[in-house]
Amino acid sequence: AIIVSDFYTNPIDEAEMLTIKKLSKTYTNGVKALSDLNLEIGAGMFGLLGPNGAGKSTLMRTVATLQQPDFGRILFNGIDVLEKPTELRYVLGYLPQEFGVYPNISAERLLDYFATLKGIDSNKDRKILVSRMLELTNLQDVRRKYESGFSGGMKQRFGIAQLLLNEPKLIIVDEPTAGLDPAERQRFLNLLRQVGTEATVIF
């Protein structure tokens, strides 16, 4: 079973709502990862709690349109997520459990590259955006450094910087604090909280 704990809710923004109805998933090996899951949350920060194997990652990957459930429905701000995954991706920021980076490129250039992939064509706009993200995630000082030299905490913050590039309304972060020391973990959660006031954040 998964417990959803609200760390922070934003009661002002009622327009925003993630609704999950009767979501079920059984993998081909017979493991039932999700069974008739129902959930309705608005803007704010929500933690999925549950032991290993409870189905947290399965749920997050499904909402992030990376895999299909067997049954169920997912709606976000009027978008039917399973029917129109591309529409959701425009407003989605996702940080997977394993976040691979290109090691021999600076944080700044890599962010610029991700911004290009997210469709920001203007050089000037990208420059402003990348600089803003580096500042927000406190990576300004190490922007010319290679990712390969980053600590676990820096990599996580870079992960947040890249997911924020399209100003997402739905942010999904899988296992954000695994392998971080307590101080880094606190910084990471504070950062999520700071960026997540207008969005729905699931971690």
* Minimum CB–partner distance for residue 109 and ligand ADP (Å): 32
Report the site for ligand ADP in 130-169 (rule: CB under 6 A): none
> Which one, 7 or 113, has the nearer CB to ligand ADP?
7
> Which one, 25 or 126, has the nearer CB to ligand ADP?
25
> Which one, 42 or 176, has the nearer CB to ligand ADP?
176
Order the strands of the 200-202 sheet from edge to edge: 3-9, 44-49, 200-202, 170-173, 92-95
In three-state secondary structure terms, 3 is: strand
* Minimum CB–partner distance for residue 39 and ligand ADP (Å): 15
Q: How many residues bind ligand ADP (CB under 6 A)?
A: 12
> Which one, 63 or 115, has the nearer CB to ligand ADP?
63
Residue whose tokens read 């996702």 = 94
Residue of the chain from 42, 43, 58, 137 that contacts ligand ADP (CB under 6 A)? 58
Distances (CA, A) of 121 to 52, 63, 87, 113, 160: 41, 28, 19, 11, 21
CA distance 93 to 49: 20
Which range binds ligand ADP by CB under 6 A, 29-37, 143-151, 156-164, 180-188?
Answer: 29-37
Which range binds ligand ADP by CB under 6 A, 14-22, 25-33, 71-79, 98-106?
Answer: 25-33
Asked if residues 56 and 48 have their Cβ atoms less than 8 Å apart, the reply is: yes
Which range binds ligand ADP by CB under 6 A, 39-47, 51-59, 137-145, 165-173?
Answer: 51-59
Structure tokens belonging to residue 120: 């920001």
CA distance 135 to 147: 16
Residue of the chain from 42, 44, 55, 159 that contacts ligand ADP (CB under 6 A)? 55
90 binds ligand ADP (CB under 6 A): no
5 binds ligand ADP (CB under 6 A): no
In three-state secondary structure terms, 107 is: helix
Within 8 A by CB and 6+ apart from 21, the residues are: 38, 72, 73, 74, 75
Q: Which residues bind ligand ADP (CB under 6 A)?
A: 27, 29, 31, 33, 50, 52-58
